[in-house]
Structures are given as structure tokens and as C-alpha cells.
Amino acid sequence: MTKTVLMCPPTFFDVREAKNPYMGQAIDRKKAQQQWDALRRSLEDSGLKVELINPVKDLEDMVFAANQVFVGQARTGEKFIVPSHMRYPSRHQEVALYVDWFRGRGYRIIDLDLREEYLEGHGDLLWHPDRSRIWAAYGFRSTRGGVEKFSAAMANMGFPVTPLQLVDAHCYHLDTSLCPLNNDAALIYPGGFSPKSLAAIRSGFPRIHELTRDEALQFMGNGIVANGRFLTPRLNEHLSQILAKEGLSPIVVDTSEFEKSGGSAFCMKAFLD
Ligand code: ARG
């Protein structure tokens, strides 16, 4: 089965307000476009189909397609999304645009009535690779209450959710410190989690590969697993060895412009199936 991902061109990508510790430097828009094009090509070369949502002026973070909705498929086969409530008001309009995109393609919309709670899509919510369960983090962007509302809705559909508490501000989204490689193995940055959360992750994956804080801050845990490949912004001997053990071949994709906004490869797409 060909997997499909959704991406948003970086036409209006920019760094404006500091929403996370990485944000501060100006971006080079031309370079950003080239890096995005190369990422898209690498995904296609890996056998994935890429669908696009139109970028919108002044929505400078819309390129981070992992955040606006959580995408899933019910056990009945029905496709659904859970819209996010983004912590920063400058990202609120993005959610409605993504919801419209999915609505137009027949996805059921599960609205959680999040009110004062926040939930940031696949930035903080990750499927276990076999889709049997969901890892859900809170602490910096999503709130504990947001994760609780999400868990209740998923429990109704037969998907257990494990809440995880994030504790390192540089790893403000779950996708910066947990990267499942397959059903049994994950890359993690242990310092990103509270002790109890770390124990939950260790019991959920028989093989845990630990990244150092420096590796995590270089977004080496923000890669994309695609048909036996691992798209990563950087590769060192340590990561090469881990990937070899897990039977994945590394593909390096430069995402330096997007890292100035606190995101890398994983943040720039949403898996649709
Ligand atoms: N500038 C964006 C923000 O702070 C980056 C989002 C990164 N996305 C991710 N899935 N980690 O909201």
C-alpha cells in the first residue's frame, strides 16, 4: 500500500514571534524553499505520495503540517481527525484550514471542545507503529487536560492512550524526543521525560535507543520512517549504528532553515494512512 503524506509549501514561512527556544534568527526564504523541495523529493523517492494544502499569507507556521490535526482511522475503517487547539493564537487559523482540507476528503471530525486546554496534533500525539495505541505528551504546548480529553475520545474508539510528561523546554513537542522506528524499537531522548513517563516508554518498546541531549537538539529524533528508510536532518556514527541495527537506511535531508523555527523533517508532514 502506498502511504500518503500531507505537506504545506513554505511560501509564507517565517520566524516572527518566539514560540519555542529555537526561534530568534531570521530565515532565508529561498533556502527554505529549496530544503522543502528536497524533503518532498526524498519522501517521493522513498515511495510516498505527497499531497498538498495551499499555504496562506501571514500563517508563517502553516508549513509544519504535523500540528493542526491528529489523523487516524477507526477500527471500523472510517478515517477521522481530531482538530488541535494550538497554544499560540498566531497558529489558530491554520487549524480551520486543515480541518476544511480533511472535511472535503470525507474525514470525520472529532471535536473535543478543548476550551482552555491545548492539544497540538502530531507534535505531541504519536501512533504506535502498529496503530494499536497512542503516545500523548503534555507540558509545554499540549496541556494535561487536553491530553485527558483526547484520551477519553480515543478510549471510546478502542485506542489506549499513554500520557507522557515533557520536562525539557528544548524538547517542547513529543516528536523531538520520541521517534518510534518500528513496533519494537524507538529513538528517545530520556532527559525529555519525567521519570514515570520514561518508564512507560521503556515498557512500551522492547528496544530503546537513547539519543544524547545534543543529538535531540539537533533534531536527530525528529526523523521520518518511510519504507525502510529514515529521513534525518543529521547523521553521526551513533545514529548510523542504531539505524543499521533496526534495518533502516539513512537519508540526510537538510532542514536548517526550519530548525530556526523549532521544527525539522517530522514536523513538516502528516501521515494520512
Ligand atoms: N514554530 C513552530 C511552533 O513553535 C514549530 C512547530 C514544530 N512542529 C513540531 N511538530 N514539532 O509552533
pLDDT in tens, 129-187: 999 999 999 999 999 999 999 999 999 999 999 999 999 999 999 999 999 999 999 99
Q: How many separate helices (H) and strands (E) can be counted in the chain?
A: 7, 15
Specify the ligand 1 atom closest to the Cα of 20: 4
- For ligand 1, the distance from its centroid to the CA atom of residue 263, given in whole angstroms, is 5
User: Quick one: pLDDT band at residue 62, thresholds 50, 70, 90?
Assistant: very high
Rounded Cα distance between 175 and 208, Å, is 15
pLDDT in tens, 190-206: 999 999 999 999 999 99
pLDDT of amino acid 2: 85
Domain ranges within the chain, ordered by starting residue:
40-271
- Does the structure show a pLDDT above 80 at 71? yes
CATH number of 40-271: 3.75.10.10
The three cell numbers of residue 151 are 484520551
- Does the structure show a pLDDT above 80 at 68? yes
The three cell numbers of residue 243 are 539505524
DSSP string, 48-90: -EEEE----TT-TTTT-TTSSEEEEE-TTS-EEEEE-B-SSGG
The answer to whether the CB of 88 falls within 8 A of the CB of 19 is yes
pLDDT of amino acid 31: 98
Q: Is 61 in the pocket of ligand 1 (CB under 6 A)?
A: yes
pLDDT of amino acid 6: 98
pLDDT in tens, 219-255: 999 999 999 999 999 999 999 999 999 999 999 999 9
- For ligand 1, the distance from its centroid to the CA atom of residue 76, given in whole angstroms, is 32
Q: Is 142 in the pocket of ligand 1 (CB under 6 A)?
A: no
